[in-house]
Structure 1
Amino acid sequence: MESAGAFDAISPDLACVVLSHVENLKDRFSLARVNRAFFEASKRDASLPPPDVLFQFARESDIAGQHEREVAWLKKAAARDQVEALALLGAYYSEGMHGVEIDDAAAFRLCKRATELDHEGSELYRISIGHLGECYVEGNGVEQDIAKGVELVRKAADLGEIESMLSMASYHSEGTHGVEKDTTKARYLAVRALQSGYINHIKTPEDLARLCAIFRSAGAHVDFDLDNQLVAIGLDNRLITIGITSSPG
């Protein structure tokens, strides 16, 4: 670790102050290499910038494919109630993504906190509402409460959360979880999910099977070309058509 002139005599406390004002991740790492005072300061919470900057550090790490570092920054931001970090980390714990092991209790706690803090309906807020609802429906990380869970999933679907729209479509198509069977609503919600971008999330045969099952149970039939998606997930190259035109009356 090399020294750098005027920085040689800086105290760790002053180094913390300097680092807390650095909002560029590369600059922070560069300063941490200046001398031991900056290096030691970089490991202290007192050297951390505001929570929104920590979340940006996490996103930069994600883009660089450094997921372990991304999660570390997310945890620091979430500990300071940064809403987006809470929501994203909750999703990671729920799905077991980016090296994070599935932890239903942690996912529930993080998503619940995110929904308590964000009242503006951001995308991650919608995702948190949906995850929270699924936790209650399945009893993951919290005592099962299907009615409360469905209420939250419906709220997220109304706000445009894709996975929640598909969940509600499934509930309506099968008449499960205390939801009335209504194939028209099921078809409408599945169409909305597709129009909102679910088609871009179809990456596995299971994703495709889920979608097709909803449309089949809803009795839908119109043309929609899934050929490219079939190729992308390794299925044979053929045109599949499924129905997606009706809306609820």
Structure 2
Amino acid sequence: MTLLLAGLAVPLAAQDSSATSDSATDEAAAPATMTEVEQAWQRGDFVFVRRGLKTLAEQEGTALAQYRYGRVLLEGTGGPRDVQGAVGWLEKAVAQNNADAATLLARVLLSSKGEGNAERAAELLSNAATRGDAEAQYYLGLLLLSGKGVEQDVGRAFDWFLAASEGGNMHAQFELSKAYSRGQGTQANPQEALRWLEEAAGAGLPEAQYFLANALDNGGGVPVDKQAALDWFRRAAENGQPQAQRELGTKYLVGADGVTPDAAEALRWLGAAAEAGDRSAMHNLGIGYVSGGLLPQDYNKALRWFEQASDLNLGRSTFALGQLYANGTGTEQDLAKAVALYDKAAQQGELNGALAISQMAKAGLLDGLMSPHQAVPWVMTDLIQNADAEAEAWLLGQADAGVRIAQVNLGEFYLQKEGKKAEGVDLIQRAAMAGSVPAQFQLGNLYVTGDGVDLDYVAAHKWLNIAAASGHPEAAETRAVVGDLMTPDQIAEAQAEARAYFDTARARAPQTDQVVRTSDPGASEPTARD
């Protein structure tokens, strides 16, 4: 959890040591009253505000003047920012039991790197929260939820969020909605979750407005109401919420949900979201420029937006780039670059990237572009996802050619299939003999459990010993467990067989390097999409 000083002019994670408080070189501060200071604030004369508050804080010493002067120093209003000076004045106001000063000082401490800051901040917030300060109640709830500076207690966090929500704090109302939705610190209650989400959205919190819009758009706990959803998306977008800007812009781009397609509005909102760093907005702009129609077809702009989204780890944009280079669309055809992009997309979790590589492998189009052992995980994905016979045949061909990762992956896959266990064991044995450490560990476990082979502790100990000697992180522990079940003679026999394996290992070493994946076949499948 990150606690930001929302509402202040600048973040306070790093203090500006060069800033100084108002000094004697400033124009002499004329005596002022708090009424005059407030009038100056209203007309935007922040220099007068700052000097007036300085006079009041120093001469009258009221907690209110000290708090307000500390705040303008913190924000850099009417003069340079002075964090240290601000902290000093806030401390003076805290000493006079000013709750607002305690809350603001706590936020400064939470935004700074200092030992004990979180604990002191929790004390300050607790003091202000018990006196009814809704902002302090909200921040104290966040600390209790995360366990920062206090012992984690989701029940107490909920209680403080409820108190702050009833006091009108929209951030607390949003947190309370999430707590009711998740059953976090309280019983799950969808009706209350919706009620407090509507309260936060109505109070103007952009994130709440976006989530309410999304719920109305998709029927998430409420009846679908596309027009109301559109209104809330617009409110959130106009309040600067990037996801809402993307949703609104996309609706204008494709004409969804009764929205009339509008190029200017699509560019307005997708552009705002993209400039704010929303990678899906970048992707949608790329699609718009590739497709043409509403937006003018512009491959240069499409490439630029896809590249930016790809750099932000969006797999579908990386895949789209790969397609452009593979087909020579809007750019010079470059199959090597396309394959590299498909591989990157697959690693980013984009299934289409893996399937594109598999299709090229099955068609014999990867020669000189990607080595077989690099392609194996993605062809395995095709086999697992689609039960593709051509993918299986290609993998069997690589296994027969001695590609160990193909032997391991396909062997593990067969071990999960009735009627294929014997073939799976054979592939794992071949990989183990060729030096695959994961296969050696797997084979040792098979002999321990008798899965597809006869139970054999000597063989199990042998292969686990070999895997452990090669650095497998779990093999030594499993070997020790097996060793407790064996006689001394059996252990001696297993050790002798392990030594014999290493004595002849050099003669069996492959002539080319191979990369062996240490996880199960399914681990190469995409696991996340936006």
Shared topology, TM-score over 0.5? yes
Corresponding residue for 1:75?
91
Corresponding residue for 2:481?
none
Question: Please, which moves more after superposition, 63-72 or 83-92?
Answer: 63-72
Corresponding residue for 1:35?
none
Pair 213,70 (structure 1): closer, same or farther in 2 beyond 3 Å: farther
Question: Please, which moves more after superposition, 127-136 or 162-171?
Answer: 127-136
- Structure 2: gaps spanning 5 or more residues: 1-22, 25-31, 35-48, 243-271, 285-530
User: Which structure's relative contact order is higher, taking Cα pairs within 8 Å and 6+ residues apart?
Assistant: 1
Q: Percent identity of the aligned residues?
A: 17
Pair 79,227 (structure 1): closer, same or farther in 2 beyond 3 Å: same
d(CA) in 1 for partners of 2:129 and 2:161? 13
d(CA) in 2 for partners of 1:148 and 1:28? 38
Pair 27,182 (structure 1): closer, same or farther in 2 beyond 3 Å: closer
TM-score (norm: length of structure 2): 0.31
TM-score (norm: length of structure 1): 0.61
Corresponding residue for 1:49?
61
d(CA) in 2 for partners of 1:28 and 1:219? 50
How much is the aligned-residue C-alpha RMSD, in angstroms? 3.9
Corresponding residue for 1:133?
141
Matched, 1:227 2:237: yes
Corresponding residue for 1:155?
163
Q: CA deviation at 1:141?
A: 1.6
Corresponding residue for 1:26?
51
1:59 to 62, 68, 71: 71
Corresponding residue for 2:120?
106
Task: Give per-residue Cα distances to partners, 1:157-180, cap 9 Å, x unaligned.
Answer: 122211211111111212223x22
Corresponding residue for 2:338?
none
d(CA) in 1 for partners of 2:140 and 2:91? 19
Aligned residues: 190
Q: Is the 8 A contact 2:180 2:187 kept in 1?
A: yes
Q: CA deviation at 1:76?
A: 2.6
- Structure 1: gaps spanning 5 or more residues: 3-20, 32-44, 120-124, 239-249
Q: CA deviation at 1:145?
A: 2.8
Q: Is the 8 A contact 2:53 2:68 kept in 1?
A: no
Q: CA deviation at 1:234?
A: 4.3
Pair 106,213 (structure 1): closer, same or farther in 2 beyond 3 Å: farther
Q: Is the 8 A contact 2:67 2:101 kept in 1?
A: yes
d(CA) in 1 for partners of 2:204 and 2:96? 32
Larger radius of gyration: 2
Q: CA deviation at 1:188?
A: 1.7
Q: Is the 8 A contact 2:161 2:175 kept in 1?
A: yes
Q: CA deviation at 1:108?
A: 0.6
1:171 to 166, 179, 183: 179
